[in-house]
Structure 1
Amino acid sequence: MDLNIQIPDNTASIFEYLQKGLFISSNSTSEEVRDMYNEIDENYESLHQYFSQINYTLERGNEYFFFSRIEPKATLEQKIMRAYYWIDVLDFFKTYDETFGPGFRFQPEQILVETNINMLLQNKLDGMRKHFSDKDIRKEVLENMIRQLTKDSFLEQENEKTNTYKVMSAWHYLERLIESINIYDETEDEKPE
């Protein structure tokens, strides 16, 4: 390791935040998180090298940072179940609004109102029950989904009074994950008769 690398004074704070599996997004509502984003952005190479010494890989996404780490491989079934969940989450929110993505603001109540009049959205939200408790009513399923997305730092509550949420830049990670799934059309391989 190059002992001459310059690392920021708040490297411990950055590590503590990222090692929880959270994302640091440029558009965070938290000034502290935005400051960490700027610090990483300015010192990316040094921090990448520094963290690699303790088996963490600092990854740069589209306006966000996160850690990846070499860990024992999860079972294929666990990975598939998690991928199903993220596909369902993206599908639900993109059905609600095609522009749903980083910077988008919403109130859960608005989504519930739209769900009550849009049968497709209703079916998708009902389908999300399999990821939570089958007994949950739509409102609880949506609240659980938003709570999980907030915990995973894909959303932040921007205004507690109005219950307004903002989509973080880390949302690009989910989009990239889904876009990386290749589905081959079997008809392409068939030869015409």
Structure 2
Amino acid sequence: MRYTKEIFEILSRGGFISQNSISQQRAHLYDAIEDDFQQYQEYYEGIGFLLEGGNGYYYFSRTESKVELADKIQRMIGWIDRLDFLKTFNSTFGSGFSFRKSNILEKFSSDIELKEKARHLYADLKTNDEKMDKLIADMERQGFIELENDLDGTYKVTAAFHYIEELIDCLTIIETEQE
């Protein structure tokens, strides 16, 4: 277990380590965790973190109080809208998908539904350009995308994107009748 510090620095900030990361360092860390998962899991559990694995990615989780859980659910509402927007942009948007901000902005001119969904993203921002900058920054900060080509602004969706897809798929909305 040679990479406990490097792994902790990424995962403790809410990041992900993805199998298909563009960063060779992160891909190497993924392989290290994959090879010694049990040892890493026990080590981090000893300092209060739960190392979890998903479909091609690793992350930390922890037991949360009801208040913390309620806050997390509120944050998820924003990601539901973002995921809906991205799937409207391209239904195949997911792990391994590559895109440029300009691709999304171009599609606004021909897709009224996409333009409507963008209106609900980041209500405090006025232009679609600002909204796409914020969306890309949020996804990059979370580790859901990585800059693949700095020259043309191409981003690649990492395996960590499965996390948000799976989490939203698990949500069940129960309607109750009011009397």
Q: Smaller-chain TM-score range?
A: over 0.9
What is the match of residue 107 of structure 1? 100
TM-score w.r.t. the length of structure 2 is 0.93
Residue 190 of structure 1 corresponds to: none
The aligned residue for residue 134 of structure 2 is 144
Assess if the C-alpha contact under 8 Å between 1:55 and 1:70 holds in 2.
no
For 1:84-99, list aligned pairs within 5 A.
Answer: 84-99=77-92
Q: Distance in 2 between matches of 1:117 and 1:139?
A: 16
Q: Distance in 1 between matches of 2:173 and 2:14?
A: 28
Q: 1:75 to 1:38 in 2, by over 3 A?
A: closer
Amino acid at match of 1:16: E
CA separation of 1:77 and 1:47: change in aligned 2, threshold 3 A: closer
In the alignment, the residues of structure 2 paired with residue 102 and residue 79 of structure 1 have an alpha-carbon distance, to the nearest angstrom, of 23
Q: Does 141-150 or 68-77 show the bigger shift?
A: 68-77
Larger radius of gyration: 1
Deviations 1:71-118 (A, max 9, x none): 444356533431210100110000011100000000010110001210
Q: Which of 133, 151, 176 does residue 166 from structure 2 map onto? A: 176
Q: 1:20 to 1:88 in 2, by over 3 A?
A: same
Is 1:35 the counterpart of 2:22? The answer is: no
SS at match of 1:49: helix
Could you tell me which amino acid in structure 1 is paired with residue 135 of structure 2?
Answer: M
Q: Does 1:153 align with 2:146?
A: no
Q: Secondary structure at the match of 1:157?
A: strand
Task: Give the TM-score taking structure 1 as reference length.
Answer: 0.86
The count of corresponding residues between Structure 1 and Structure 2 is: 177
Identity of aligned residues (%): 37
Where does structure 2 lack aligned partners over 5 or more consecutive residues? Answer: none
Q: Which residue of 2 aligns with 1:119?
A: 112
72-81 or 109-118: bigger deviation: 72-81
Q: Deviations over 1:2-55 (max 9, x none)?
A: xxxxxx112111111111110000000000000000000000011101110111
Corresponding letter in the other structure for 2:78? Y
Secondary structure of the equivalent of 2:60? strand
CA RMSD of aligned residues (A): 1.7
Shift of 1:173: 0.4
CA deviations over 1:49-72 (Å, ceiling 9, x no partner): 111011100000000000012344
What pairs with 1:66-81 in structure 2 (closer than 5 Å)? 66-74=59-67, 78-81=71-74
Point out 4+ residue stretches in structure 1 off by more than 4 angstroms: 184-187
The question of whether the paired residues in 2 share the 8 Å contact of 1:24 and 1:34 is answered with: yes
